[in-house]
């Protein structure tokens, strides 16, 4: 919990692998409202760790879209791509704890032999490595049970070794693991609460474990339900969710607010986006978000508001 004198610091951390869609805007707005309703700062981090999947054109597009919706971030934008040395230093710290090991399994080896129910069987831990062959680096997990209390979802726990298995910390293609980067970046940015989609709840146990290994304090967490598209799958780039920079801003923003359990009055449609956000900050409460894994995308809301506007 936050002590009285500490400032709330929240963040939105999109990966620039595509434009912002309704689901990512919804997460951006929720984290913004939570920060501002707590008189805090809302920081923007671009998770461009994976240089193969992330593109500068999407970074620019995301920044532009946030500006379009008048979601103003505090401080300068933080980029993962500038953090290689910090990630490497943390990896060395873990190396010194003798808990890392090289893994030379190919994708085929993994899918055909060494991964069952998503869990790696530790093959490379017990077999010598082949010289001059590329390898990834895995974290050898002890039998540990990680439990935490999420501000939305309540208390949950995971037995890391049995339910996740030794996970990758450094990829064969020389990219540090997402979990390592997120833990170090949230710490570097002094994030006090991580608010993000429920789909990342299962990552949190690994992240808390890494915080413990690296002696980093654990922030608060709040995992809000994700928005599911018509087929029942999470709205995402993979499901070709629409680019919200092309949607009518005020209507879309108001629709986001209704998906976040707020009840915006119709007159808000005549307000500018930052005034709509101000209204939302005044009415926002994380307590109104129910502990669900997902909510359906209600497309009719945007249309309904468009019709109302022209009545
Ligand atoms: N960059 C991640 C994503 O776009 C989110 C990371 C996080 O919120 O911890 O899914």
List pLDDT tens digits, range 12-36.
Answer: 999 999 999 999 999 999 999 999 9
pLDDT at 233 (0 to 100): 85
What's the mean pLDDT in 151-176? 96
pLDDT at 34 (0 to 100): 98
Pinpoint the alpha helices (H) of the chain: 22-37, 56-68, 84-96, 107-109, 160-163, 178-188, 201-214, 249-259, 273-283, 300-309
Question: What is the C-alpha to C-alpha distance for residues 271 and 254, in angstroms, rounded to an integer?
Answer: 10
Number of neighbours of residue 181 by Cβ within 10 angstroms: 22
pLDDT at 204 (0 to 100): 98
- pTM, full prediction: 0.93
Distance, CA 134 to ligand 1 centroid (Å)? 28
Given a cut of 50, is residue 306 above it in pLDDT?
no
Distance, CA 305 to ligand 1 centroid (Å)? 30
Residue 236's pLDDT band (boundaries 50, 70, 90)?
confident
pLDDT tens per residue, range 185-226: 999 999 999 999 999 999 999 999 999 999 999 999 999 999
DSSP conformation letters of 48-63: ---TTT--HHHHHHHH
* Topology (CATH level 3) of domain 84-180: Rossmann fold (3.40.50)
Residue 5's pLDDT band (boundaries 50, 70, 90)?
low
Q: Strand, helix or coil at 246?
A: helix
pLDDT at 240 (0 to 100): 61
Q: How many CA atoms lie within 13 A of 228 on its CB side?
A: 12
pLDDT at 6 (0 to 100): 77
Residues with CB under 6 Å of ligand 1 are 13-15, 47, 182, 196, 200
Distance, CA 87 to ligand 1 centroid (Å)? 17
Fold: same for 9-81+188-309 and 84-180: yes
**Residue from 9, 10, 14 to probe ligand 1 pocket by mutation (most atoms less than 8 Å from CB):** 14
Residue 66's pLDDT band (boundaries 50, 70, 90)?
very high
pLDDT at 123 (0 to 100): 94
Given a cut of 60, is residue 84 above it in pLDDT?
yes
Given a cut of 60, is residue 305 above it in pLDDT?
no
What's the mean pLDDT in 82-97? 98
* Topology (CATH level 3) of domain 9-81+188-309: Rossmann fold (3.40.50)
| CA distance to 56, 74, 81, 260, per residue, from 52 (Å) | 11, 28, 12, 33
pLDDT at 299 (0 to 100): 72
Given a cut of 60, is residue 80 above it in pLDDT?
yes
Distance, CA 195 to ligand 1 centroid (Å)? 10
Question: Mean pLDDT of all residues in the chain?
Answer: 93
Atom 7 of ligand 1: nearest residue by CA position: 13
Distance, CA 152 to ligand 1 centroid (Å)? 18
Nearest ligand 1 atom, CA 207? 9
pLDDT tens per residue, range 101-138: 999 999 999 999 889 989 999 999 999 999 999 999 99
* Domain ranges (residues) in the chain: 9-81+188-309, 84-180
CB 172 within 8 A of CB 181: no
């Amino acid at each position: 919990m936050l002590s009285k004198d500490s400032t709330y610091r929240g963040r939105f951390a999109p990966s620039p692998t595509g434009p912002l869609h309704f689901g990512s805007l919804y997460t951006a707005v929720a984290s913004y409202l939570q920060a501002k309703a707590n008189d805090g700062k809302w920081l923007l981090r671009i998770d461009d760790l994976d240089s193969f999947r992330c593109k500068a054109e999407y970074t620019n597009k995301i920044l532009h879209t946030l500006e379009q919706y008048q979601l103003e971030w505090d401080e300068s934008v933080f980029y993962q791509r500038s953090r290689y040395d910090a990630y490497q230093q943390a990896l060395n710290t873990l190396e010194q704890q003798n808990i890392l090991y090289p893994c030379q399994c190919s994708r085929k080896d993994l899918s055909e032999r060494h991964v069952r129910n998503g869990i790696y069987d530790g093959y490379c831990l017990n077999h010598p490595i082949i010289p001059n062959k590329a390898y990834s680096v895995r974290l050898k997990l002890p039998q540990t049970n990680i439990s935490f209390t999420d501000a939305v979802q309540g208390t949950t726990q995971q037995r890391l070794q049995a339910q996740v298995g030794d996970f990758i910390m450094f990829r064969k293609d020389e990219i540090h693991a997402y979990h390592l980067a997120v833990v170090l970046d949230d710490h570097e940015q002094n994030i006090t609460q991580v608010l993000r989609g429920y789909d990342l709840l299962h990552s949190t146990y690994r992240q808390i474990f890494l915080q413990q290994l690296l002696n980093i304090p654990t922030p608060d967490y709040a995992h809000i339900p994700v928005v599911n598209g018509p087929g029942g799958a999470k709205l995402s780039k993979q499901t070709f969710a629409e680019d919200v920079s092309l949607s009518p801003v005020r209507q879309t923003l108001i629709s986001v607010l209704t998906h976040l359990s707020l009840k915006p009055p119709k007159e808000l449609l005549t307000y500018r986006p930052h005034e709509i956000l101000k209204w939302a900050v005044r009415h926002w409460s994380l307590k109104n978000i129910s502990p669900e894994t997902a909510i359906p995308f209600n497309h009719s809301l945007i249309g309904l508001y468009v019709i109302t506007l022209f009545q």
